[in-house]
Structure 1
Amino acid sequence: MKLNAEVRGGNKIAQKLQQIQDRVMAKRRVLVGLPAGSGNSEDGTPLVVIGAVNEFGGTIRHPGGTSYGYRNEKDAVAGKVRFMKGGEGLMQLGVTGPHTINIPERSFLRVPLRQNQDNIKKAFRSLTGAVTRGEITAFQMLDAIGEKAVGYCREAIKAGIEPANAPSTVRQKGSSTPLINHGTLAGTITYVVED
């Protein structure tokens, strides 16, 4: 059996197909992370530096010179030696020498995004259909995917990222959950849709 087909409106069809292709193939991307100018922590350290050190790990070569001892009588009785700003406290026991501090990698961007890549792909596939039908723009699709990606990163921080904090860090910040002091880092994670 032979089949005959006729297509009418060649220019209109070509234009419509070109519109659909332009919407779907727009050269845009979603960037997720901490943008430059995200602000500083309480001690003045840029949040992008804190984020990078936690994301990839890092080493601090401390010059030493930090006083330690008993801050008050209660600490002395309990035998709790602590760092003291400017040697202020009940009794200074000494001053630290030069030492290295190793900060472990706690990926709050790469790992959560990798773990949720199937969910991100599903969202992309479902929203691509809406773009081809002209219901939303490619920018709106990428905007929605960016929101999802940021949510996955924030959820990972809230749930806790391994390895656990050192006991000294837990004492200092009053929390055993890594990357959470005041929620500043998690609140700074954002996305940008870029041409």
Structure 2
Amino acid sequence: MVTIRTKVTLRRRGNLANHLAKIEKGVQGPKAVKVGFPKGKADADVVSVAIWNHFGTSRGIPSRPFITIAMFKNRREIRAALRKIAKNTVDTGAPIAAQLPKLGTFGAGKIQDQIAANTPPPNAPSTIRQKGSSRTLIDTGRMRQSVTWEVDK
């Protein structure tokens, strides 16, 4: 699991009690989104292939940590999106849960982009012969198409 933290500073004038009540209402409910292959959202065989490719196996599949790479490469954009969500909740009282789908869609897209990016190390010659392609992480495209998200309840 990747955890990204952000900080928000409150600068507000007016009735603090009303403002805090609005913020309190906005932070009720879900506050997280799961991105990748959430339980029940992808077939078990696709999840297995994703795990084997991400972590590698003792049977010769090298580790290609595509989810970790995608989150690390895009951490600044993710933090900016989290700040925007927090600011919107602080400023307007907009529920965090209502803003999470956009973040989930963004994260899933970044993982799909990383899968398509031909993540090293390169495929073995035997794999290239078997697949008919040197592209890593993509054979039929099913794993890439299965990347999704869900609001964590």
**TM more than 0.5:** yes
TM-score (norm 2): 0.80
Equivalent residue in structure 1 for 2:97, among 139, 149, 153: 139
Deviation of residue 118 (structure 1)? 1.0
CA distance in 2 between partners of 1:27 and 1:154 (Å): 25
1:30-83 C-alpha deviation (Å, 9 max, x unpaired): 11121334126xxxxx11111111111112xxxxxxxxxxxxxxxxxxxxxxxx
Q: Provide, for residues 71-106 of structure 1, a one-character-per-residue CA deviation record: whole Å limited to 9, x for no partner.
A: xxxxxxxxxxxxxxxxxxxxxxxxxxxxxx321101
Question: Which residue is equivalent to 1:94?
Answer: none
The code of the aligned residue for 2:73 comes to: Q
Amino acid in structure 2 at the alignment position of 1:30: V
* Contact 2:25 2:93 (C-alpha < 8 Å) held by counterparts: no
Map 1:128-167 onto structure 2 (within 5 A): 128-134=86-92, 136-167=94-125
Change (3 A) 1:135 1:16: closer
Question: Is contact 2:66-2:119 (8 Å) kept?
Answer: yes
Q: Counterpart of 2:25?
A: 22
- Contiguous gaps of at least 5 residues in structure 1: 1-6, 41-45, 60-100
Q: Counterpart of 2:54?
A: 55
Contact 2:26 2:89 (C-alpha < 8 Å) held by counterparts: yes
Q: What's 2:9 paired with?
A: none
TM-score, L = length of structure 1: 0.64
Query: Larger radius of gyration, structure 1 or 2?
Result: 1
Q: CA RMSD in A?
A: 2.3
Q: Secondary structure in 2 aligned to 1:109?
A: helix
The aligned counterpart of 1:104 is 62
Q: How big is the shift at 1:167?
A: 1.0
Distance, in Å, in 2 between the alignment partners of 1:136 and 1:126 is: 11
Code of the aligned partner of 1:178: T
CA distance in 2, matches of 1:188, 1:27: 23
Offset of residue 128 of structure 1: 2.3
Structure 2 gap ranges (5+): 1-12
In 2: Cα distance, 1:151 partner to 1:145 partner: 10
Task: Determine which structure has greater relative contact order: mean sequence separation of CA pairs < 8 Å that are 6+ residues apart, divided by chain length.
Answer: 2
Distance 1:15 1:125, change over 3 A: same
Q: Is the 8 A contact 1:128 1:141 kept in 2?
A: no
Answer yes or no: is the 8 Å Cα contact 1:124–1:141 preserved in 2.
Answer: no
Q: How far does the alpha carbon of each residue in 1:127-168 deviate from its partner, in whole angstroms, 9 at most, with x for none?
A: 322233337431132211111111111111111101111111
Equivalent-residue separation in structure 1 for 2:152 and 2:38 (angstroms): 13
**AA aligned opposite 1:47:** V
Q: Give the direction of change, closer, same or farther, for the CA distance of 1:105–1:17 in structure 2 (3 Å limit).
A: same
Does the residue aligned with 1:104 lie in a helix, a strand or coil?
Answer: coil
| Between structures 1 and 2, the one with greater helix share | 2
Q: 1:34 aligned to 2:40?
A: no
Q: Which has more strand, going by share of residues?
A: 1
